Structure 1
Amino acid sequence: MINVQEITSVNEIDTFIQNNRLSMLYVSQEDCNVCHAIYPKLKELLNNYPEIKLAHIDASQVEAVAGKLLIFTVPTIILFFDQKEYLREGRFVQFEQLEARLEQLYNAV
């Protein structure tokens, strides 16, 4: 089972990205049905990629996250590789495409 770090402040975002070579942020809101549907699928997918560390941010509790990461809709998935944004998916996530991109990156690392 994948371990998810809950991020509760904007400062924790930078620390998380710096401490993990492959880091993924999942930004959601409590009242978002799509967010609740995608989250379990994402965690299940990441079980195949143990080097990718996942953090969850509730945008309604960490409101500054939208400005910091330029997020316009939830859910948003952002993958960082060596502290640089590598992939971003918003609202409707195509899991087949996401898995193909993760596989490509994972094999290159």
Structure 2
Amino acid sequence: MQHQEYLTTFENLNEKLATEIALLLYFSTNSCNVGEALEPKVRSLLENNFPKIKFYNIDLNLSPEIAPKYNAFVEPTILVFFDGKETIRKSRNIGIFELENAIKRPYKLIFE
């Protein structure tokens, strides 16, 4: 199980986007029940199916300047980046199978 890693500044985020081939940004707050219930499922999906994608939390309350830049006002919002480009965006009612199917193709193109 990966440890919780929160990105709290643009500098952190831009550094990760520049250095990681693939990453998932998970925008939520600790007061969002849907976000809290979905997060372990998303982590598990990455660990089991897409281990090369790094998972990062962005708490909308702790990092208010990041959300507007990425239009992530609804929680939870998931953004997946490949090679520094936003490739997948899912918000609110996110199905884990739908997310898996969305990630599969770009992941295979880059890592296989």
- Please, what TM-score do these two structures have when normalized by structure 1? 0.92
- C-alpha deviation, 1:40, in angstroms: 0.5
Q: Report the counterpart of residue 11 of structure 2 in structure 1.
A: 11
Structure 2 spans left out of the alignment, 5+ residues: none
- C-alpha deviation, 1:3, in angstroms: 4.6
**For 1:41-68, what per-residue CA distance to the aligned partner results, in whole angstroms no more than 9, with x for missing partners?**
0001001211101111111011112211
Q: Report the counterpart of residue 71 of structure 1 in structure 2.
A: 72
Letter in 2 for 1:98: L
**For 1:62-86, what per-residue CA distance to the aligned partner results, in whole angstroms no more than 9, with x for missing partners?**
1112211111201110001111110
Within a 5 Å distance, the mapping from 1:42-81 to structure 2 comes to 42-47=42-47, 48-81=49-82
Contact 2:88 2:103 in 1 (8 A): no
- C-alpha deviation, 1:2, in angstroms: 3.2
Letter in 1 for 2:32: C
Contact 2:29 2:60 in 1 (8 A): yes
Structure with greater strand percent: 1
Residues 5 and 92 (structure 1 numbering): CA distance in 2 closer, same or farther, change over 3 Å?
same
SS in 2 for 1:5: coil
Please provide the CA RMSD for this pair.
1.2
- Please, what TM-score do these two structures have when normalized by structure 2? 0.90
